[in-house]
Structure 1
């Protein structure tokens, strides 16, 4: 005869369909307790699930239920599950999107009552709605809780294609976890296709504008950084996290192995999001010279700063692009610097990320193949490279057609002049 489990240890029973079920009291996200059931094909499977569930209860971690409000489930998912699986920057963006857009629209729906129609309607309305109205407050009058449209001053700011994709990704990820925990039978967000949104056209600098920008940046203390961004297409966080040990001056190359991002009020160093982003990038002779000069300049700044040269404890040793006191450069400050450089160079205003697009466009224009560009930029797939820069490949495609004419020779019907 099986030993009876003590009070509080939960129960395990065999169902009529042959599966096993276990039940125990767990915490809800609101702090109250409820009885939760888990299921499995064998007694050992159920026992393992029960142990995990009870361990969370002992730690005060809430458990989800199928009848809870979707907004409460998102709170649980972001607090308990997502931090173990997402990068800090991704988690931060997911939390913001949930708080600003998803919870106000779908938060009151029951988790097990959420339908594909609910998700489809939300995404369709979201991509065409005014951002201020979605957030439920007027940006110009934060004390007024009415939306800008409600007071007759629509700001006409619409979500970007990337934001719509992120919103859909949050819904898919959260509901997929609910499926794993057997709270719902299907992931309704996977059933719904992401609404098509016309992406904003990338408008990088051309070759002449790039030369003007770099000429203007010659006197800037971070000239080597601007040259590096245009020449190698590094991401902003990747460039600012480089250390001198990452640069091989002899062979003219650098290794990308970390990044830095602002998460709320902190600058966090971490690894790139994908394995493709960890890469070795060749450097032009100009970049090697600029980095050599920058190292000498940094040594002069260190001597001038003296005791004021105080790197933060969190940053790695030997950062290349620091402030005048040796601290990590805030990624947000680069956009302000670049705005001033664009103004002084009399070129159209671009973001720091647009310099990455500029690098790819210049490489394409000079006949570099897409595979090489993918490796240089650290894209996860070549499809991403081709899709992102399809609009600037016309020159390359035209050159390919001209080379075919040269390979096949003149047409018999073509008049020879």
Structure 2
């Protein structure tokens, strides 16, 4: 869907220029709207599942925890240098990214050209410090063999996919035992997740911890808060109940105050 929106925006802009240059009378894309976005089915991990997956990962388990608790894109994480971390404030500065294009590495600014500072939990500090030990300021923090860029095209199928299958098998075995013993399976089925799903998990965990939309937007590097709301609309339904409850409390308080004022006036 973003690809369609970007293509339509580019075409509309080009045709606007053509109208200004009097090459065409009207922009035929002026009234064209992009298809409405649907809510995609996503796999969100719980805190427990994040740690289960990290424990099952045989190489670079720190990647799972870091992505799940910061929401960085893979290319942003792979491009991080020691100098990008502020360990005292527990912040990581996102200033660039790296992508694979036909097997070649392409370095660039972050998506949407938005530099940002992202917080990370204190529990990750020791692990991150260990990754930086003995490195210079310009060295990469997350690396493959011999300090090379950590590539998602290799890590995803060889490392993460296998770990996901292991955890899923363990969950299925536990459910089978529970069913035989009590007739009810209490162990949650483990979803199929990719490295990018860890970014969605970070959004989910942040929202469940009480982070507001603007905070999640800045963490994820979205251009607008509306993009965050559109992307994670399925994570906010409980907020409606909270709003209704808050309105109920306020309305009752106002009614009681009004009633007290009337009683006082009558006396």
Report the TM-score, using the length of structure 1 for normalisation.
Answer: 0.50
Cα distance in 1 for residues equivalent to 2:23 and 2:121: 55
Pair 351,221 (structure 1): closer, same or farther in 2 beyond 3 Å: closer
Cα distance in 2 for residues equivalent to 1:281 and 1:195: 32
Pair 386,323 (structure 1): closer, same or farther in 2 beyond 3 Å: same
Q: CA contact under 8 A between 1:267 and 1:330: conserved in structure 2?
A: no
SS of equivalent to 1:280: strand
State the partner residue of 1:327.
148
Among 3, 24, 30, the residue aligned to 1:184:
24
For residue 198 of structure 1, report the CA deviation from its aligned partner.
Answer: 3.2
Among 63, 73, 98, the residue aligned to 1:225:
63
How many pairs does the alignment contain?
A: 232
Pair 197,190 (structure 1): closer, same or farther in 2 beyond 3 Å: same
Give yes or no for the alignment of 1:205 onto 2:45. yes
State the Cα deviation string for residues 99-137 of structure 1 (Å, max 9, x = none).
xxxxxxxxxxxxxxxxxxxxxxxxxxxxxxxxxxxxxxx
State the partner residue of 2:208.
365
Q: How do 1:73-84 residues align onto structure 2 when only pairs under 5 Å count?
A: none
Q: How do 1:28-67 residues align onto structure 2 when only pairs under 5 Å count?
A: none
For residue 258 of structure 1, report the CA deviation from its aligned partner.
Answer: 0.5
SS of equivalent to 2:147: coil
Give yes or no for the alignment of 1:165 onto 2:5. yes
Among 76, 86, 90, the residue aligned to 1:252:
90
State the partner residue of 1:278.
115
Q: CA contact under 8 A between 1:365 and 1:396: conserved in structure 2?
A: no
Cα distance in 1 for residues equivalent to 2:20 and 2:70: 42
Q: CA contact under 8 A between 1:373 and 1:385: conserved in structure 2?
A: yes
Q: CA contact under 8 A between 1:259 and 1:270: conserved in structure 2?
A: yes
For residue 284 of structure 1, report the CA deviation from its aligned partner.
Answer: 0.9
State the Cα deviation string for residues 207-229 of structure 1 (Å, max 9, x = none).
34223223323xx3322222110
Task: Kindly indicate which of the two structures has a greater share of residues assigned to helix.
Answer: 2
Q: CA contact under 8 A between 1:223 and 1:290: conserved in structure 2?
A: no
Farther-moved stretch of structure 1 (319-328 vs 203-212): 203-212
Cα RMSD of the aligned pairs, angstroms, is: 2.9
SS of equivalent to 1:262: strand
Report the TM-score, using the length of structure 2 for normalisation.
Answer: 0.75
Among 234, 238, 247, the residue aligned to 1:391:
234
State the Cα deviation string for residues 132-188 of structure 1 (Å, max 9, x = none).
xxxxxxxxxxxxxxxxxxxxxxxxxxxxx3444344345334434544655433332
Cα distance in 2 for residues equivalent to 1:330 and 1:236: 9
State the Cα deviation string for residues 352-391 of structure 1 (Å, max 9, x = none).
2211111111111122211111111111111111111111
Cα distance in 2 for residues equivalent to 1:179 and 1:339: 51
Cα distance in 2 for residues equivalent to 1:226 and 1:240: 13
For residue 237 of structure 1, report the CA deviation from its aligned partner.
Answer: 0.9
State the partner residue of 2:162.
340
Pair 210,174 (structure 1): closer, same or farther in 2 beyond 3 Å: same
Cα distance in 2 for residues equivalent to 1:407 and 1:238: 44
Unpaired segments ≥5 residues, structure 2: 169-189, 257-267
Pair 333,193 (structure 1): closer, same or farther in 2 beyond 3 Å: same
State the partner residue of 1:349.
192
For residue 239 of structure 1, report the CA deviation from its aligned partner.
Answer: 0.7
Pair 383,196 (structure 1): closer, same or farther in 2 beyond 3 Å: closer
State the partner residue of 2:181.
none
Farther-moved stretch of structure 1 (390-399 vs 358-367): 390-399
Q: CA contact under 8 A between 2:50 and 2:65: conserved in structure 1?
A: no
Cα distance in 1 for residues equivalent to 2:72 and 2:207: 16
